[in-house]
Chains A and B, each alone.
Chain A
Amino acid sequence: MSVVLEINDLSAGYGPLRVLHEINLSVQRGERLAIVGLNGHGKTTLFRAITHLVGWQRGSIRFDGTEIGGARSLGEGRRTPGIVRLGVAMTPQGDAIFPGLTVRQHLDCGAWSRRAWKERAKRREAIFDLFPPLRKLENTVVGTLSGGERRMVSVGRALMTEARLYLIDEPSLGLAPIISQRVVAALREIDVMDGAMIIAEQNVSLLDGQVDRMIGMHAGRLRGDVGHVELG
């Protein structure tokens, strides 16, 4: 098995605040990994460091052999589109990233590659198969949807173009238990054959049996690589 993502000594933060402390992590091809931990312990910051959205960062991040980390003097977000185009798909924390667009336009935004844009009608259908409630809402403005529906749109957008690394931030945040189970089940259905998926989540029992490996995160450090666990 080859390595999709290899993180070495990654530190990151915002201004004087240091959130991540020398993180080391490697993710194998085909793996579904969960990073679990409480609020404010750096799960989101780790994702944002991979996509260059934190204030500052240093340390190496190798994605499929390409170095996408390193210290930088440029502002946050400048390299993000380039990293996305390398094949990293991230669903940010919270919802409805484009509140004024319809579900259909929102999904089209995710189809950045030339091929995905050409096939966007077919791919939208695939997303609607994955999240059936969205089919009826195709022409509804995203800002008026419920929390669960928005989360489905947000995940759906990330799936419009094939990625080799999916970063799913807090899929259950603010959702009713039954809906978050549906979202997690849909994540389970996504094919990550030649890539990998990392899910950041607080609710450990929700991910029970849905992922290959769990790592705890505490105070900006990864703690305890627990492998697959069955919770009673």
Chain B
Amino acid sequence: MDLAMIVYALNLSAIYALLAIGISLLWSSIGMMNMAHGASFAVAGYGALVAGDLLLPGINAALQGSALLPLVTFVVLLAAGVGSGALFGVLIYLLAFLPIHDKANFAVRGLIVTLAINLATVQALLWWFGPRQQALPNIFGFGRLNLLGVPVRYDQAATILATAVLLSVVLSWLRLSRKGLEIRAMMQNAEGAALSGISVRRTALPVMAVTGAMAGAAAVLLSQTVYVSPGAGAMPLIKGMIIALLGGLGSVPGAAVAALLIGALEAATGVIPFLGQRMVLLVQFGFIILVLIIRPRGIGGLLDETRK
């Protein structure tokens, strides 16, 4: 295993972790399996695209030739993706959570409603933007950073760094803030939380916005290697969901560990000669099925406070 492969694995893991932790967090705090997470991902990609078209010419003119230009571009695109992801999260909250969250069988109903939102959103994006794949402006060029003798692509370095920063912000928000305490209380016992005056409706809104924002960040970071298109959310949704399952649905540390594992597995499968890139999905799913047969509650099942 050479070092460049480890960087590639970390790059994949970072994006998977953003998606899987969002899905896991939603399930454990408000008991909703968010099938529209892929739509948040696609919407955020287009949000960044539109913001880029509107704002970047001006920024380019203002900062002509400045060394700050790539950084400013990156921040603008990331902020646009995060913002539109969060807004879409709020929309899902209004459509799929608020009306049905206290009805019987909310888990199944939520699954169906969010799946419908996912399909409708993909169709709406197709109708508005057309099926053409579009690329976000290339932010970092094609240069490489030489890190201890390992060539690291700029976008890989930025992805790993940005994910690490975003995840530590989200996790410390969960650990340290009052809202975070309420969310963790709700994760462990929804009824006990209600008896402590914690309203599910008020707590679910920031959770939906934050997980949407995480999907948006993943969309912008991944768009450096994959094009933005209406159906772009399907694969991230599926991978994020199975990684969340592998991590033990509802466990944040479990999802992080699972993302690292799957990222490493994907990178390793790609370079093994007789498997190669085309066998990646087969190996990934095989591995996940194997783990879930041995440990049905996933990796995080024993680690911590998951929803029963």
Contact = CB atoms under 8 A, between A and B. Distances in A.
Interface of A: 51, 53, 74-78, 80-82, 84-85, 90, 92, 97-101, 105, 108-110, 112-113, 117, 157, 161
A80 B195 contact: yes
Nearest to A112: B197
A77 B190 contact: yes
Contact of B198 (A75, A90, A99, A109): A109
Among all A-B residue pairs, the 4 with the closest Cβ atoms = A100-B305, A75-B102, A97-B192, A112-B197
A155 to B, nearest CB: 12
A108 B181 contact: yes
A99 B102 contact: no
Interface residues of B, number: 23
A197 B191 CA distance: 21
Interface of B: 102-104, 178, 181-182, 184-185, 188-200, 304-305
A77 B194 contact: yes
24 contacts: A74-B102, A75-B103, A75-B104, A77-B102, A77-B191, A81-B197, A82-B199, A85-B197, A92-B192, A97-B191, A98-B184, A98-B185, A98-B188, A98-B193, A99-B188, A99-B189, A100-B184, A100-B188, A105-B184, A109-B185, A109-B196, A109-B198, A112-B197, A157-B196
Given A76-B102, A78-B102, A92-B191, A99 B305 contact: yes
B161 to A, nearest CB: 30
B301 to A, nearest CB: 13
Contact of B195 (A75, A97, A100, A105): A97
Contacts of A53: 191, 194
Contacts of A100: 184, 188, 304-305
Majority SS of interface residues in chain B?
helix
Nearest to A117: B178
A79 B263 CA distance: 44
A161 B190 contact: no
A133 to B, nearest CB: 21
Contacts of B200: 77, 81
B79 to A, nearest CB: 31
Given A81-B200, A84-B197, 5 more contacts: A77-B102, A98-B188, A98-B189, A98-B192, A100-B305
B198 A112 contact: yes
A92 B192 CA distance: 8
A108 B200 CA distance: 17
Contact of B197 (A74, A99, A105, A161): A161
A117 B178 CA distance: 9
A168 to B, nearest CB: 12
Nearest to B304: A100
Nearest to A100: B305
A101 B185 contact: yes
A101 B192 CA distance: 12
A87 to B, nearest CB: 10
Nearest to B187: A100
A200 to B, nearest CB: 15
Contact of B181 (A78, A90, A109): A109
Nearest to A110: B196
A112 B203 CA distance: 13
B198 A81 contact: yes
A112 B178 CA distance: 10
B181 A51 contact: no
Nearest to B198: A81
Contacts of A90: 195
Given A74-B102, A76-B102, A157-B196, A101 B191 contact: no
A113 B197 CA distance: 9
Nearest to B195: A90
Contacts of B194: 51, 53, 77, 80-81, 84
A51 to B, nearest CB: 7
Contacts of B178: 108, 117
A84 B304 CA distance: 28
A53 B190 CA distance: 11
Task: Pick the most buried of A98, A101, A109: most chain B CB atoms within 10 A of its CB.
Answer: A109
Contacts of A81: 194, 197-200
A157 B104 CA distance: 29
Given A53-B191, A74-B102, A98-B189, A105 B196 contact: no
B298 to A, nearest CB: 17
Nearest to A91: B195
A85 B198 CA distance: 9
Contacts of A98: 184-185, 188-189, 192-193
A198 B191 CA distance: 20
Contacts of B184: 98, 100-101, 105
